Amino acid sequence: MELRDLLTKIEEGIFAIPEVQRPFVWRNPQIVELFNSIYQGFPIGSIIVWDAPKNIFENYPDLFRPLSKDLDVKTGNFRYIVIDGQQRLLSMLLAKRGRIKVFRPIR
């Protein structure tokens, strides 16, 4: 899947995070490193998701949250449960929306 397609899917709100997973903890330097790796064509690790039956989200809505509060209104779109990759997925969303800043030291 191309990065553009993945970003579209993220914004559609199809990725559900189980409540047992830790919250987002990456800081700007980690996000910058992720995009440096993407830009240079380096591996960024796998994003592991479960294509869950729709009734899981309907029967147990309190067990899942969207990647971002911005996507709260799209919880009806949940399709995949993120097993591994929450930090990378949300970092991509934040970068696309311009919510990270990159500061470089002046030399």
pLDDT per residue rounded down to tens, the chain (107 residues): 788 899 999 999 999 999 999 999 999 889 989 999 998 999 999 999 999 999 999 999 999 999 988 888 889 999 999 999 999 999 999 888 887 765 555 55
Integer Rg of the chain from CA: 15
Is residue 10 a contact partner of residue 93, using CB atoms and an 8 Å limit? Answer: yes
User: Kindly report the CA angle at 38 between 47 and 2, in degrees rounded to 5?
Assistant: 65
Residue with tokens 């993945």: 6
pTM comes to: 0.85
Residue 36 Cα distances to 10, 22, 60, 69, 88, angstroms: 20, 25, 38, 26, 13
Q: Which of 29, 57, 44 is nearest to 66 (CA)?
A: 57
What ranges do the domains of the chain cover? 3-96
